[in-house]
Amino acid sequence: MTAFARKNADKPPMLIYDKVRKNYGNFTALDGVSMHVNSGEVVCLIGPSGSGKSTLLRCTNALETIDGGEIRFEGKPLPKSDTETRKVRQRMGMVFQNFELFPHKTALENVAIGLTTVRKMDADEAHKRAMALLAKVGLADKTANYPANLSGGQQQRVAIARALAMEPHVMLFDEPTSALDPETVGEVLSVMRNLANEGMTMIVVTHEMSFARRVANWVVVFERGQLLEQGPPQQIFEAPTIERTREFLSHLGWNG
């Protein structure tokens, strides 16, 4: 056991996963996963592709229903009804691998649309907030651009701004840089690093080990739907307790 003190460990966890199971037919995607996420923490989920990381994120946002166990968000189990689920999703921002932007809307419109349709905000006020968020992610000069006229990194930053527009309590990132050209990865990670510095609670599924090492407060290693080990980044990357973790990091060329 590590003596490392987790961030805000004296406060109730924002998210608790208790023996969470998810099956797709005969395939077990999540096999009794138990962990928690504290308010203000950056928790990075790492492990081989297909190990259950993205499935856990989708279950967190109720995009997938679980088949066993429980997920509690801000002290309450995830709701079953569509109406209550939509309310919970408003407090969770999610950023996908492939941006999921509306191609026929400008960057400004993509960010503002949730404010006008879900929050019923006045259009002028929504556009003002969208402008501020696009500036926050370094895209103040791209408000009138359509997704087709933006680089992958710029599109992903629009997606982050769109998620932030709803003022979420937690941000969920599902491999946000995996679809990007190498030269645009850094600009997205920089925005995420700034959010972490501002105290945003974040769960990040990532293969960017340097980001996990430098920015995460807590790292969770997955393998075949199970949690192999978890701990502070210095433990996971410098002194992992499980041989499979060492093998995984070695395959990625990680040498500390």
**14-26 tens-digit pLDDT:** 999 999 999 999 9
| pLDDT over 80 (residue 13) | yes
Rounded Cα distance, 233 and 222, in Å: 14
Confidence of residue 1 (pLDDT cuts 50, 70, 90): very low
Whether domain 11-91+181-256 has CATH 3.40.50.300:
yes
Rounded Cα distance, 73 and 59, in Å: 12
Here the tokens at position 69 are: 């166990």
Write the DSSP symbol of residue 147.
Answer: G
Q: Report the pLDDT averaged over residues 137-141.
A: 97
What amino acid occupies position 139?
A: L
Q: Report the pLDDT averaged over residues 60-75.
A: 96
What amino acid occupies position 229?
A: E
Here the tokens at position 13 are: 């966890």
Sequence-separated (6 or more) residues with CB below 8 Å from residue 238: 256
pLDDT tens digits, one per residue of 193-250? 999 999 999 999 999 999 999 999 999 999 999 999 999 999 999 999 999 999 999 8
The β-bridge partners of 139 are: none
If you average pLDDT over every residue of the chain, what do you get? 93
| Residues of each domain in the chain carrying CATH 3.40.50.300 | 11-91+181-256
| Residue 77: CB atoms within 10 Å | 11
Least confident of 7-11, 145-149, 188-192, 242-246: 7-11
Predicted confidence at residue 255, as pLDDT, reads 59
Write the DSSP symbol of residue 5.
Answer: P
Stated as kind and residue range, the H or E segment containing 132 is helix 123-136
51 close to 18: Cβ distance less than 8 angstroms = no
Rounded Cα distance, 111 and 2, in Å: 41
